[in-house]
Amino acid sequence: MNSPRFDASRTRRCLRSWQWTRRDMPGSEYCELWELDDGWGVMGSVVLAEKGVPCLAEYSVETDSRWLTRETRILLRRGGSSQSLVLRADAQRRWWRGDEEVTAFRGCTDVDLAFTPATNTLPIRRLNLEVGQAQDVTAAWVRMPDLSLVPLPQRYTRLGPTTFRYESGGGSFVADVETDELGLVTRYPPAWERIATGAPDTGRGFL
């Protein structure tokens, strides 16, 4: 599989580009948010050291206009080997890996890629919570370093205009995530922090 990318005939504009760095281990990411003809898209390139082994993960995620995940493409290079993954979700929220349904993901609304905070934007935008509101979701979790597939119960609580509490595993992991006006993560303790932005949107955002 070539590096994941969007069909150029369906892209309208890049709303924002940015760079994250990891604070808890070596790593960084370049990412973009795109407006598509019929939805939204995020794509990025992540460089990490996974247990001392260098990794490069390139991905794209497409959603519909309601921020429901529609397709995810991943190309992972790790220690000189590579593997790829393509997931698609249909209108009935059935998830497919090629011609095989991933039955454990049936009903999941969002994909969650373990190697990037970009996919936190999807439920943040889709749920559109008011301050003080919370909602439980179950995400289609793609884990590192083997791209294994596991359903992951999560909870999002909006603490303030740009702050969301993220919980997973029944509260075994909790992080207060800071975002910008587009719902993009600026700080995800203890791991990710945004250090540069470009191509600013001239619109109002959603918050």
| pLDDT score of 81 more than 60 | yes
**Cα–Cα separations (whole angstroms), residue 28 to 79, 111, 147, 194:** 17, 21, 19, 9
pLDDT tens-digit series, residues 166-181: 999 888 999 999 999 9
pLDDT at 201: 54
Q: Which residue has the tokens 């790829």?
A: 84
Label residue 192 by pLDDT band (50, 70, 90).
Answer: very high
In this prediction the pTM is: 0.93
Q: Residue by residue, what is the 3-state secondary structure of the chain?
A: CCCCCCCHHHEEEEEEEEEEEECCCCEEEEEEEEEECCEEEEEEEEEEEECCEEEEEEEEEEEECCCCEEEEEEEEEECCEEEEEEEEECCCCCEEECCEECHHHCCCCCEEECCCCHHHHHHHHHHCCCCCCEEEEEEEEECCCCCCEEEEEEEEEEEECCEEEEEEHHHCEEEEEEECCCCCEEEECCCEEEEEEECCCCCCCCC
Mean pLDDT of 59-78: 97
What CA–CA distance (Å, rounded) separates 37 from 114?
27
Q: How many CA atoms, within 13 angstroms, populate the side-chain half-sphere of residue 61?
A: 27
pLDDT at 204: 52
pLDDT at 105: 97
| pLDDT score of 202 more than 60 | no
pLDDT tens-digit series, residues 136-146: 999 999 999 99
